Structure 1
Amino acid sequence: MEGYRISTQFSEMDLSVIHEYIASSYWAENIPQATMQKAMENSLCFGVFTALGEQIGFARMVTDCATFAYLADVFILENHRGKGLSKWLMQHILDHPQLQGLRRMVLATRDAHGLYKQFGFNALKSPDTFMELHQPNVYSPLLKREVG
């Protein structure tokens, strides 16, 4: 994409941009910055940058790089949408050498099914075989306890 580039260099990721977006998302609202940083450090991260080096997009794969990967935290900032950047990012992720030959890739989305279907993702064929321990309010300020 002209005027943009994708990098997997962790040192290039702008934690403040990423955290600001993710902390206001429906899937990780109020996530602490330290938690986001730890998640990134333990994932294969993909950043989308302008030619001037401004981070405008992000995605990460939680993976063992052998059998399984979970796609998480995908975004393109609002003022850069509509240019095909999310499709370009997805293709870049799926082409990455460390993500070849995996038996399963999964993701969760509330509103981007159309994007992911273009890349072969579908609803679970056997949802009854999957289980989860879901704590949607884990980052809620009301759940934090005072230590004393």
Structure 2
Amino acid sequence: MSDVANHAGWKGGVYRQGDFEVSTDRNRLDRAVIINTLSETYWAGDVSPERIMESVANGFPFGLYHVPSNRQIGFARLVTDMTRFAWVSDVFVIDAFKGQGCGKLLMQAILDYPPFENVYNWTLATKDAHGFYEQFGFQLAEGKDATMQLKRPKKPVA
């Protein structure tokens, strides 16, 4: 596993750009922000708060933060074997911070996260954000209208 402290945009365990940073520190996650935001989405609106937090606990979470206010403003969760596949899920940026490049920062931080550098099959599902994910190389999976995939070259085993 790679050193996350200083790698591919990750410095001191965070991925920072201007006033925003991404962190994998579970202790920084704001339960209320995650539950309140996901409960308003089309994909998790019918999921109980307990189940939402269970999925966070069982996944690999990324929190997005506004540094000056120390406030969580976004989130994403991965389900992964950290070798061959990663399923990107529950991606959001709260409305007040949309349009400021925060979603791009979050996705780039995830794709640059050193422990995932060998993952070559990335998948996600979206009904309405295809264009957003296409800028990172995701494409619609054949025969699907919501599932998108990103295929990276397989790296040789060291």
Is 1:109 the counterpart of 2:114 in the alignment? no
Residue 15 (structure 1) aligns with = 31
Distance in 2 between residues matched to 1:43 and 1:98, nearest whole Å: 14
Kindly provide the CA deviation profile for residues 69-90 of structure 1, in whole angstroms up to 9, marking residues without a partner as x: 1000001111101111111111
Structure 2, unaligned runs of 5 or more: 1-16, 148-158
Residue 45 (structure 1) aligns with = 61
Counterparts of 1:2-81 in structure 2 under 5 Å?
Answer: 2-51=18-67, 52-81=69-98
More strand by share: 2
State the Cα distance separating 1:23 from its structure 2 match.
1.0
Structure 1 consecutive aligned stretches of length 4 or more whose deviation exceeds 3 Å = none
Residue 112 (structure 2) aligns with = 95
State the Cα distance separating 1:125 from its structure 2 match.
3.1
Residue 6 (structure 2) aligns with = none
Higher Cα Rg: structure 1 or 2? 1
Residue 14 (structure 2) aligns with = none
1:99–1:126 Cα change, 3 Å: farther
State the Cα distance separating 1:103 from its structure 2 match.
2.9
More helix by share: 1
Aligned length: 128
SS state at 1:111 partner: coil
Kindly provide the CA deviation profile for residues 96-130 of structure 1, in whole angstroms up to 9, marking residues without a partner as x: 01211123110000111111000010011365xx9
The percentage of aligned residue pairs carrying the same residue is: 37
Question: In angstroms, what is the RMSD of aligned CA positions?
Answer: 1.4
